[in-house]
Structure 1
Amino acid sequence: MKKYGILLIGCGHIGTQHIEDIYYRDNIDIIAVVDTNEEKAALTASKYGAKDYGADYKAFINDPRVDIVIIATYTATHLPLLRESLANGKHVLCEKPIAGNYEDGKEFYELVKSASQKVLVALILRHNKSYNTIKSLIDAGEIGELKVMRIAQSHHVTDWERHKALLEDTSPVVDCGVHYFDVMQWFTGAKICEVSGIGNKVEEDSPRANYTLATVKLNNGCIGYFEAGWSNTIASLNVKEFIGTKGRITLTLKDLRYSDREEGDLISIYHRDNREYKTLNVDSEYKDMNAQIQTLIDMIENGTPGSPTIDEVFSAFYATIKADEAIEKGTVIKI
Structure 2
Amino acid sequence: MTELMLQPSRVSPVQRVVGTVLRSREIAVAGVLIAVIVVATAKSHTFLFSGNGWRDLLLTPSILLLLAVGQTAVIVTRNVDLSVGSTLGLTAYLTGRLFLDHPGLPIVAVFLAAVLMGAVLGLVNGALVAFGKVPALVITLGTLYIYRGIMLSWAGSNRINASDMPHAFLRLGTRSIASIPILTIISLAVLALVGYYLWTARGGRELYAIGSDPDAATLYGLDVRRRVLAAFVLSGALAGLAGVVYTARYGTVSSGAGSGIELQAVGAAVIGGVAIFGGSGTVWGAAIGAFLLVTINRALPIVGIQDFWQRAVVGALIISAVVLDRVLSARQARKLIEARDES
Whether TM exceeds 0.5 here: the answer is no
Q: TM-score, normalised by structure 2?
A: 0.24
Greater fraction of residues in helix: 2
- Which has the greater radius of gyration? 2
TM-score by length of 1: 0.24
Question: Where is the strand percentage greater, Structure 1 or Structure 2?
Answer: 1
